Amino acid sequence: MIFPYTLLVSGNDYETCCQQACDFLKKNKVLDYERVEVIKAESCSGADANFCRRMNASIKKHRENITFLVNELNQMGFHSVEDLQNMEQGYPSKVLHILGHLLDGYVCVDSRFYNLVDYSHQVPSATIANIKRLPKQYWLIRVNGHRASEQEPSLQH
């Protein structure tokens, strides 16, 4: 299986940022990828004219995953926090678990964008200001994590 990510990384150059991105995914015990592949053609620095468009598209995809999970919970009859009190273990609790990861900044197989600068799925205004001030030190690194089997539940769609 292939798990795609766009990672926001800060460093002196492309190679350093690629190494940070790969190390982060390779050392993550939860993700446990057999191989990490950098997609150079889809990576760019903050100085690239497509940087903001690519970052916003990645964040949008991440938010679409959140919307998908919220809709899954709604379809199962969970419309308010009170409804969660009687949730049984199984698919509904897995959906809620993954949704929690996507909302709290914990990277998981369903993350599509992750900010390694702030360890978050979002980009705070201070980081955006730093990107504008020092664009060549910020990179979007597109990577694929590879593994033969799906060890952690994924809701890729």
Q: What is the mean pLDDT of the chain?
A: 91
> DSSP characters for 32-91?
--SEEEE-GGG-EETTSTTHHHHHHHHHHHHHHHHHHHHHHHHHTT--SGGGGGGPPTTH
Using one digit for the tens of pLDDT, what is the confidence trace for 73-83? 999 999 999 99
Domain parsing of the chain, residue ranges: 2-146
Looking at the chain, the whole-number percentage of residues with pLDDT higher than 70 is 94
Would you say residue 157 has pLDDT above 50?
no
The pLDDT tens digits of the residues spanning 54-111 come to 999 999 999 999 999 999 999 999 999 999 998 989 999 999 999 999 998 888 888 9
The pLDDT of residue 28 is above 70: yes
